[in-house]
Amino acid sequence: MATPSYVPDPLIEGFLDELWSTKGLSDNTLSAYRSDLLHFDAYLQQRQLSLLAAGRDVIQDYLGLRYDNGAAKSSSARLLSSLRRFYGFLLIRQLIGDDPMALIASPKLPRKLPDTLSEADVEALLAEPDGDDTLEGRDKAMLELLYATGLRVTELVGLTLEQISLRQGLVRITGKGGKERLVPMGEVAIDVVSRYLKLQRAALLVAGQSDVLFPSSRGRMMTRQTFWYRIKLYAQRAGISKALSPHTLRHAFATHLLNHGADLRVVQLLLGHSSLSTTQIYTHVANARLQALHAEHHPRG
């Protein structure tokens, strides 16, 4: 962060506290905002400026420096989002008179299609864990539930017993922004999770009682990094060579629903997207799949 004498502007933590208390943003999002603002603040201090004194020209100089250093468009777009939100916060608090971000345009980013798996790949992945083994039985239940519900990985690893109703076949999720949604599980996921609760969960609670639905081998809440490692392990064993991400099964859930005729707004509700435009990217994946099927099977494809 430039010099050992650097002292972060306290406005940054005040801004992040405000976001945490009013917007319910995830730790990862807050961490990204913090990183962006600290780097910008350090740059300003090197120029003997402050966050309150930074004008549009200074911000553009900083963006130009990042461009010269090879910063990716996606990284710059995230930085601009952080700065827009931060200076909007300062404007509302009347700590500045004008918004220096008002006339700064964001870089246009190509719409990136999410990585996903075919239905055959998903079947192979879900079949890989050994349902009779303690850890793999837990992982099998997690994978089945993830594909059946389209949860975010952070939502999955944080699930508690009270959030799931096997009798009703529903999972109650509090997602981004503190918004709650009910997601149906499906019969296969209900059966696999029921079996896991009967046969394996108690063996994982080595440290006593816990309300975590899928505890780690140490009886605590699993990290998303650990679960991501487990997904990659089963994908490798299943012979899946495609690039995967922690949200691969979430993407597959949405894409496969649309492939089978689900309404886009229903998929939006199930995924917990606040905007339909966020969900619409999956229609590109579904359309590409339909075009491929048409080309393969239609006599004049």
Catalytic residue among 39, 176, 181, 195: 176
Calpha distance 120→201 (Å, rounded): 29
Which residues are 174's β-sheet partners?
A: 180
Catalytic residue check, 176: yes
If the chain, 301 residues long, is cut into consecutive pieces of 10 residues, what is the mean pLDDT of each piece?
72 91 81 93 92 91 87 84 92 91 71 70 92 94 90 90 92 79 88 95 80 89 90 92 80 80 72 60 55 54 47
pLDDT at 94: 92
Catalytic residue among 152, 201, 230, 256: 152
Calpha distance 185→197 (Å, rounded): 15
Amino acid at 140: K
Catalytic residue check, 108: no
Q: Is 82 exposed, middle or buried (0-12, 13-18, 19+ CB in 10 A)?
A: buried
- Count of other CB atoms within 10 angstroms of residue 277: 9
Catalytic residue among 85, 140, 230, 250: 250
pLDDT at 291: 54
Which residues are 184's β-sheet partners?
A: 170
pLDDT at 1: 45
Calpha distance 151→141 (Å, rounded): 13
Catalytic residue among 230, 247, 251, 256: 247
| Residue with token string 């090879």 | 70
Instruction: Please list, in sequence order, all residues whose beta carbon lies within 8 angstroms of the beta carbon of residue 77, skipping any fewer than 6 positions away.
Output: 106, 107, 109
Instruction: Please list, in sequence order, all residues whose beta carbon lies within 8 angstroms of the beta carbon of residue 252, skipping any fewer than 6 positions away.
Output: 116, 117, 119, 122, 147
pLDDT at 219: 84
Q: How far apart are the first and last CA of the chain?
A: 57
Catalytic residue check, 273: yes
pLDDT at 296: 59
Catalytic residue among 138, 140, 230, 273: 273
Phi, psi of 67 (to 5 degrees): -60, -45
pTM over 0.85: no
Helix (H, G, I), strand (E, B) or coil at 168: coil
Helix (H, G, I), strand (E, B) or coil at 109: coil
The CA-atom distances, in angstroms, between 69 and each of 8, 11, 294 are 23, 27, 45
Catalytic residue check, 256: no
Calpha distance 301→286 (Å, rounded): 17
pLDDT at 181: 83
pLDDT at 301: 47
Domains along the sequence of the chain with CATH: 10-92 (1.10.150.130), 119-297 (1.10.443.10)
